[in-house]
Chains A and B, each alone.
Chain A
């Protein structure tokens, strides 16, 4: 586990990180979300020891990190690089080779890194960060950007595996769907400060007084459904050819509406809670 307490960082006179406190807990995938320049990479740099704190405290500093793939030693072969990193970290080269096969770069390992595509470099950097044990946290900074979709899924599955073995993981990505799928706890970073934090439900619901549901109904049943909702005092927020969107008070139970609706002989094709997405609250 890694803990940051009231961490601030100035570059010359500019304060880029302002009183940030966060925890990267074991058995959880913690994510930092924010625009370019919000301070994500600086926070990672502070945890990894690239930068020094202006003020505040970081507890637990043994991290395994995936830095920017463009900073790899390009004159080494992929194999030599992994072998070096495994030696450095006391990790298993066998594991690194297995991961290379899983991510489809085993054939390229004998080539120099400078011949690799950006996606291949990302995979290599991911592998070196993934191998090894006994770290306070594993840090993956935008691991899947530029990576093919199947490999990105494999990477996310591997990250989930780390989580299930009770490791602490910090993940950043510009792919909000990906973060929503795997993230357990979210820090929304804006201009160097934590603007929101919590589980996905907590960060996306924050500020909304009511809940909204979409109901998918056949065209011929739509008027009947609208009538039902109006007579039940439910507000219809929007509608199109086959959907209506309703809003209910937060304290109401959706089953109080759905049970009588199903008994009213109105054929429902589907319904789901419409919620705000991470991208809506982060940017």
Chain B
């Protein structure tokens, strides 16, 4: 498991795309920290987290939605499956995505705090963004397990990343039972909700169970 984890981390962080994503996130944090003077550090981070939530899901879709589907499509997974349980493979992939997200968000927060020389962090917003990224990581891995090719999983994940805020916006503009129901499945419904973190974890666990169920029955 350690060997697979080392490999996944190396592949996640040492790539041109991943460096570009880091540059965008840190760049945004730098611009917000340096030039958006009218917001307090806490409000600044609140706003930044919302942007990160939307961008983060699209970024994760393009970087990680092939994390399983690509290996099944190219059959490189056949070099791993005889030596590592499918459950362990999933855990490694999932934790890799999470670590990537957390380092990304952590370094962005540090950039803002360093520029503002202020250590006040909005705890509820921070918990929300952590919950939202745990939700996103599960969603991305689930899509990767469900799709047969990397191309399909990337397209599906990007579409879902765009559809989730769309459901939320539609629910605000044209409230209906359908949009209300769909909105409840997105992280956007739980912004500023005190129990948002727990609900997102609940949704993530639900997706995780489906992912394990599907992957354990998937022929590679």
Given A50-B219, A51-B219, A52-B219, A88 contacting B78 (CB threshold 8 A): no
Check B3 against A67 for contact (C-beta < 8 Å). Answer: no
Centre residue among B7, B74, B217 by max chain A CB count within 10 A: B7
Q: Which residues on the B side are within 8 Å of A52 (C-beta)?
A: 217, 219
Q: A88 to B219, Cβ gap below 8 A?
A: no
B35 within 8 A of A: no
Q: How far is the CB of B130 from chain A (nearest CB, A)?
A: 31
Measured between C-beta atoms, what is the minimum distance from A130 to chain B in Å?
14
Query: Complex Cα distance A50/B218, Å?
Result: 9
Interface readout for A113-128 with B: 1 if CB under 8 Å, 0 if not? Answer: 0000000000000001
* Shortest CB distance B92–A (Å): 11
A189 to B80, CA, bound (A): 27
* CB proximity of B63 to chain A, nearest CB, Å: 15
Q: How large is the interface on B (under 10, 10 to 19, 20 to 34, 35 or more residues)?
A: 10 to 19
* Contact assessment for A87 and B2 in the assembled complex, using a CB-CB cutoff below 8 Å: yes
State whether the Cβ of B47 lies closer than 8 Å to any Cβ in chain A.
Answer: no
Interface string of A52-68 (1 = CB under 8 A from B): 10000000000111011
Report yes or no: A68 in contact with B75, Cβ–Cβ below 8 A: yes
Judging by beta carbons under 8 Å apart, are A71 and B76 in contact? yes
What band does the interface of chain A fall in when counting residues whose beta carbon is under 8 Å from B?
Answer: 20 to 34
Q: Does B84 contact A (CB under 8 A)?
A: yes
Nearest to A67 among chain B residues (CB) is: B78
Contact between B82 and A63, CB atoms less than 8 A apart: yes
How far apart are B14's CB and chain A's nearest CB, in angstroms? 11
* C-alpha spacing A89/B2, complex, angstroms: 11
A87 and B78 form a contact (CB under 8 A)? no
In chain B between 14 and 29, which residues have their CB closer than 8 angstroms to a CB of chain A? none
CB proximity to B under 8 Å, residues A156-194: none
Bound complex: CA A179 to CA B74 (Å): 29
* Residues of A contacting B75 in the complex (Cβ-Cβ under 8 angstroms): 67-68, 71
Interface string of A238-258 (1 = CB under 8 A from B): 000000000000000000000
Apart from A48-B82, A73-B74, 17 more pairs, CB < 8 Å: A48-B78, A48-B81, A49-B82, A50-B78, A50-B81, A52-B219, A63-B82, A67-B79, A71-B76, A71-B79, A72-B76, A72-B79, A73-B79, A85-B79, A88-B3, A88-B83, A88-B84
Cβ-closest 9 pairs across A and B = A87-B3, A71-B75, A67-B78, A88-B3, A73-B76, A48-B82, A51-B219, A50-B220, A65-B82
Mind listing 29 A-B residue pairs with CB under 8 Å? A45-B219, A49-B82, A50-B78, A50-B81, A50-B219, A51-B219, A52-B219, A63-B82, A64-B82, A65-B78, A65-B82, A67-B78, A67-B79, A71-B74, A71-B75, A71-B79, A72-B76, A73-B74, A84-B3, A85-B79, A87-B2, A87-B3, A87-B6, A88-B3, A88-B4, A88-B80, A88-B83, A88-B84, A128-B79
